[in-house]
Structure 1
């Protein structure tokens, strides 16, 4: 397989989790072969497996390359994408999730005696794409109340949390939603992550579509690299409505390129890799449509001279 134009750092732990099959096992032979293609040495893999087993996330049966790793219940719950949020991103790309003009605010005043819960809630709000307006006040353009409430209930601090929705948001004299968005979220940093995702996906798409054909290990390697880079881009993305983003926003095109790769990888998967959860999971997400979404709509960013007018 030809060298890729951009290298991707894949954590060894992510590699192990990416190779989990539908029966929740990992074939150590596949693991070591794919790791070698990603320039990981055997010692890195052995140490990672040892840590995962010590953490109770996997049980090892056998030794070396003939071993089988079996995911435990805790590992199973942690595996894979947050499908709901990724599906929402593709709906935005297809123009199926327009903004209703409402801002969603969450305020909290958690006492110092519950400081760990307060810190955990703040981290959850950031993970959910919230922007800090002032101390204890966070903003989202999406209806995130059910998710915030779930976290607050779990942390037993719901009584200290206030929810507010408004269409009248102003900072100083600024009222323009797009300008407020640029001021509150690090759009340049998020865009850079999507530019990198596109730069990773494009040469790999050329390999997948090329005449030479790919082995099972090569397909797995590309799938894992794409998953790693896609995760890095999506984790930082608050999934702001298209109406609030710059017209040149690269998210939709990067996701479309990646979706095309996953779709072809799933089509080409053979007997040796058809049972890998990664192919099924990402394949399902990339083509996940609602009753009105078509594959062409999801992938339309590929042929556009610039990102679609309704970017993600």
Structure 2
């Protein structure tokens, strides 16, 4: 878990998906997380300049809210949380198709080509040959709209990777379970520690605990390509640990007089 929270992380956490939040709340939360006002104001100006948030008023009496652009970006960035929740609750299933994606750009556009390859990797696709990526998920909707102009995409019911054809063996070959599980075991330890620290915490402290809890989940999920449960061993420890995370999140929400941070965000409802 990253103990040093970025100013942007704190600002985003304070922003509800709908409605506005006072700048006093944002700055007080940042101060409690050991951040000074100036870097937070600078990050906020950058977000305003990018068209992601709208600020009204000045100083601590002002307020900020997400724009449609900012809301769309946050929803796209949190799509992994939504998918994880759907998997854990049995609301989604694998359709049995593998997706093969290749980036089709010439050497003269190397930077653009490399950026698309990095993005595919970030989304959990595994390289199986030079410029060719495999995933059980359809990742096209997660890419920028113009990216599809530079991709070759195919679907297959059967793939063979390095002589392996069994879907579970292909999964273990390309997305080994052990590193993913290790990341979630670290999350489990953090959940236990933060849950114990929530006793008698005041409202501001609860918001900081929420920030730490969310940061720990994000850290674990960076290593998780969210392979469909049908392709993982049963039981799958990350699913159990995420359920424990949601229980801890619900507890913190109940302790915060206003519900705390990440209000209305996908993946942060903490439903039973």
TM-score (norm 1): 0.72
1:128 aligns with 2:118: no
2:153 is the counterpart of 1:162 = yes
1:53–1:60 contact (8 Å) kept in structure 2: no
Q: CA offsets per residue over residues 211-238 of structure 1, 9 Å max, x none?
A: x3x4321221122222222223324321
2:58 aligned partner: 62
d(CA) in 2 for partners of 1:108, 1:250 = 34
Match of 2:217 among 226, 230, 235: 230
1:139 to partner: Cα distance: 0.8
Tell me whether 1:19 sits opposite 2:21 in the alignment.
no
Confirm or deny: 8 A CA contact 1:34 1:221 kept in the other structure: yes
Look up the match of 1:171: 161
Q: Which residue of the other structure, out of 261, 264, 267, is the alignment partner of 1:280?
A: 264
**Alignment partner of 1:217 out of 192, 197, 204:** 204
Is 1:192 paired with 2:182? yes
Mapped partners of 1:149, 1:25: distance in 2: 29
1:83/1:194 CA distance change after superposition, 3 Å: same
The superposition leaves residues 107-140 of structure 1 with CA deviations (integer Å, 9 ceiling, x where unpaired) of 3433335545433432332233210000121111
Aligned residues: 271
- 1:245-272: CA deviation from partner (whole Å, max 9, x where unpaired): 35575311331122112222333442xx
> Residues 99 and 241 of structure 1 are in contact (CA less than 8 Å); yes or no, is this contact kept in structure 2?
yes
C-alpha deviation, 1:17, in angstroms = 0.9
CA distance in 1, matches of 2:48, 2:80: 30
CA distance in 2, matches of 1:150, 1:242: 20
For residues 92-107 of structure 1, the aligned pairs below 5 Å read: 92-107=87-102
Runs of 4+ in structure 1 displaced over 6 angstroms? none
Cα drift, residue 105 of structure 1: 1.8
Aligned twin of 1:202: 192
Distance in 1 between the 2:76 and 2:97 partners?
A: 27
Gaps of 5+ in 1: 1-5, 288-294, 296-312
- 2:105 matched to which residue of 1? 110
Change (3 A) 1:21 1:155: closer
Q: Give the TM-score normalised by the residue count of structure 2.
A: 0.80
Instruction: Give distance in 2, aligned partners of 1:23 and 1:174.
Output: 48
Q: Do 1:102 and 1:166's aligned partners in 2 also have CA atoms closer than 8 Å?
A: yes
**Are the aligned partners of 1:110 and 1:157 in contact in 2 as well (CA < 8 Å)?**
no
Distance 1:34 1:153, change over 3 A: closer
Change (3 A) 1:10 1:150: closer
Conserved 8 A contact 1:265-1:279: no
